[in-house]
Amino acid sequence: MPNEVAHILGETAHLSSLGFGVVTTDGIINYANPAFCDMFLISTSETYIGQSLLAFPLVCYNSSFTELQLALDCPDPAVIQFHFDRDIDPLTLEIAELNAGSRMLVAKRKQQLLIESISSISPNQRDHLTGLGNRMLLDEILENWQPGSPEVSSLAVIMIDLDRFKKVIEALGHRAGDKLLKLVAKRILSVVQEPDTVVRMGGDVFVIAYTIGLKSMGAEWVARRIVELISRPFLVDGQQVNISASIGIAALNHGTNTITDLLKHAEFALYKAKGTRKGTIRFFEPELALQAMKRYSLEIDLRSALLLKEFILLYQPQVNMTDGSLQGFEALIRWQNPARGLISPLDFIPLTEDTGEIHTIGEWILHTACQEAMSWDGNFSVGVNVSPIQFESEGIVDIVSSVLASTGLPPNRLELEITEGVLIKDFANVLKQLWALKSLGVGIAMDDFGTGYSSLSYLNSFPFSKIKIDQSFVRGESYPKSRALLQAIISLGANLDIVTIAEGVETQEQYDQLAADGCLGAQGYLISVPMPTSSIRDFISDFKKNPR
Ligand code: C2E
Ligand code: CA
Ligand code: CA
C-alpha cells in the first residue's frame, strides 16, 4: 500500500513537510508520512498501519471529531480545522476521495498556508525585500473586503512600527537594516494565521489585515504577541540587536465605521502609541481623530506664524546666588496667535520638530535673542534653547557664527542650552559641533539636568559652561530622595568646575535651601516670570536698587 500511495502522491510525499495520509472511510490508516504522524502525535515507531485514526487521543477528544467522521464517510471534498492547544498552530485537514473505500488526507499547519498564500502574491503587490505583500495588496484587500459569513464579522488593521530602527541603521548600516526587516517580517508572520495578510508599508512599518471572529485570539492578543516577539534580541551580522515595536489598532464597528478609515485610524492610534513609551499598543478611539485634526490645523497655522510675526521671545532672569547679582536671561519663545491666544512652546515646539520647521524657527530665535540682547543695558548673557533636531543638519555652527557677526553680540554673552536628547542622537557628530561652537567662544549649558538616563556620563564628555538643575529637583518631586540628589549634582558641578543653576525656584524657602546646599545660581518665578525685552530696562534698574 505505501508504494501505491507514493505513486499517487509523488516521490516527495514521504519527505514533505505537509502531512499526507490515506485512510479507509472508517478511518483505518493505510499510509501516513512522518509529517502526518508528527502532526497527530502518532509515534512512527509503533505499527500505526491498520489502526484507526479516529482512535488516537488527539483526534477522538477533539471538537472536530464528528465532523471528521462524517467527512470520511462522504465522497465530497472537505476541509476541517483542528484546533489543539492555544500555543500549537491549528491544523487544516483537507479530505478528498481516492476511491470508493479510501480517502486521501492532506494536513497543513498555518505557516504552510501562509507561505502558500504569500508565494501566490503577484509581483506588483509584493514587497521585494521581505516577500510580504505591499501597500497595493493591502489596498486591494481593503477595497474588496466583505463581511462574508457570520464568523467573519469584522476587520481590524494592526499597524506595527519599529521603535529604534533608525538607530540600527545609523549604527550598522542599511544592509543590516534590511536583514533586520526580513527577520522582523518572519516573526510577525509566525503570529499571523490565514486568511490574515501581512504587508510592509515601506520603511519599518508593517500592517496586518486581521479578520475578527474567525479565531479565538483577538487582535490585541496578536499585537501583544508581536510586541513580545520583537522585543527579543535579533542576531544581525553576528551582532545582537535590540529593538521594540509600537502598535496601533483600528477595527471596523469599534469606533471606525468605514473600511476607508481603518488605515488612517490605525495610524492615529500608532502615533499615540509612539508618543507614550516604547512597546505600547493603542486602540483607536474617536478622541484620537479629534486630536489629529487639531494637530493638523495647528500645523497649518504654525506654517505661517513666522511670516506673520506671531512669535515673540520672553526673557527670564538668572541670578548669581553667591553675591545676589544679575547674571543674564534665558530666552523663551511664545506663539501669539490671534485666534488661539498665547501658546506654550511645549505645545508647538515638538510639532515644529516633526515638520522640520524648527530649523527656520530656531534660526529666527537665535537671531532675535542676540539682537535684543544687544539692546540691553549691560553685558548680560542670553541663554537660547536649541532643539536636538537643529544639530542634525550640521548647519548650527555656521548659523551661530553668522548670527553673531550680523548682530555684533560678543560670543561670550551667548549660551546655548541643550538637553541630553541632543547627545543621544549621534554622539560623535554632535560632540564635533559642540567643540566648534565652543571655539567660537559660545557657552554650552546642559539643560534639564537629572531628568535623563545617563546625564552623569555626558558631563565628562564636554566642558559645559553650566548645569541647569531641573525644576523637579527643586520642587522635591523628582525622587523621594531628591534633596540628596540635588546635593550630589551641586557637588558634582563644583568638582568639575561647572556652574550649577537651579530652575523653577518659586519660594524663598527653596532659594535659601539651595543657597545653603552650595548651588551657584537660581532662575524662577521668585525672581521673575519671563518678560518681553521691552520690560528688561526697568527690571535691570529695579534690580540694581534691590539686589537679592
Ligand atoms: P526649559 O528650557 O526648561 O524652560 C524653563 C521653563 O520653566 C519655561 O517654560 C519657564 O517659563 C518655566 N519656568 C520658569 N520659572 C518657573 C517657576 O518658577 N515655576 C515653574 N513652574 N515654571 C517655571 P516655557 O517657557 O513654557 O518653556 C517650556 C520648554 O519649552 C522649555 O523648557 C524649553 O524646553 C522649550 N522652549 C522654550 N523656548 C524655546 C525655544 O526658544 N527653543 C526651543 N527649542 N525650545 C524652547
Ligand atoms: Ca532651557
Ligand atoms: Ca530646563
Average pLDDT value for the chain: 89
The pLDDT of residue 16 is: 60
Distance 390 CA to ligand 2 centre (A): 15
* Residue 366 CB less than 6 A away from ligand 1: no
Question: Phi and psi at residue 166, in whole multiples of 5°?
Answer: -60, -35
* Residue 448 CB less than 6 A away from ligand 1: yes
Write the residue with the smallest CA distance to atom 3 of ligand 1.
Answer: 448
pLDDT band at residue 3 under the 50/70/90 scheme: very low
**What DSSP string describes 129-180?**
TTSSB-HHHHHHHHHH----STT--EEEEEEEEESSHHHHHHHH-HHHHHHH
Choice from 313, 332, 344, 510 to test ligand 1 binding pocket (greatest atom count within 8 A of CB): 332
Instruction: Give exposure, 417-441, as e/b (b: 16+ Cβ within 10 Å).
Output: bbbbebbeebeeebeebbebbbeee
The pLDDT of residue 1 is: 46
Write the residue with the smallest CA distance to atom 17 of ligand 1.
Answer: 504
Instruction: Say which residue, 24 or 32, is predicted with more confidence.
Output: 24
pLDDT tens digits, 72-105? 998 888 899 888 765 556 788 999 988 889 999 9
**With contact defined as beta carbons under 8 Å apart, do 35 and 15 qualify?**
no
Instruction: Indicate whether 6 pLDDT > 60.
Output: no
Domains of the chain listed by start with CATH number? 3-108 (3.30.450.20), 112-284 (3.30.70.270), 295-545 (3.20.20.450)
For residue 246, give the DSSP letter: E
**With contact defined as beta carbons under 8 Å apart, do 247 and 223 qualify?**
yes
pLDDT band at residue 326 under the 50/70/90 scheme: very high
Q: Which atom of ligand 1 is nearest to the CA of 386?
A: 44
pLDDT tens digits, 253-298? 888 888 889 999 999 999 999 988 889 999 999 999 898 888 889 9
* Residue 130 CB less than 6 A away from ligand 1: no
Max Cα–Cα distance, the chain, nearest Å: 111
* Residue 90 CB less than 6 A away from ligand 1: no
**Contacts of residue 380, Cβ cutoff 8 Å, sequence gap at least 6:** 326, 327, 328, 329, 373, 413, 540
**Looking at this protein, which amino acid is placed at residue 354?**
D
Say how far apart CA 547 and CA 199 lie, in whole Å: 66
Say how far apart CA 208 and CA 503 lie, in whole Å: 47
pLDDT tens digits, 355-374? 899 999 999 999 999 999 99
The pLDDT of residue 40 is: 83
Say how far apart CA 428 and CA 455 lie, in whole Å: 16
**Contacts of residue 460, Cβ cutoff 8 Å, sequence gap at least 6:** 496
Is this structure's pTM higher than 0.75? no
* Residue 344 CB less than 6 A away from ligand 1: yes
Choice from 344, 420, 503, 505 to test ligand 1 binding pocket (greatest atom count within 8 A of CB): 503
**Contacts of residue 390, Cβ cutoff 8 Å, sequence gap at least 6:** 358, 359, 362, 396
Helix %, strand %, coil % of the chain (to 5): 45, 25, 30
Nearest Cα residue to 187 out of 166, 213, 162, 157: 162
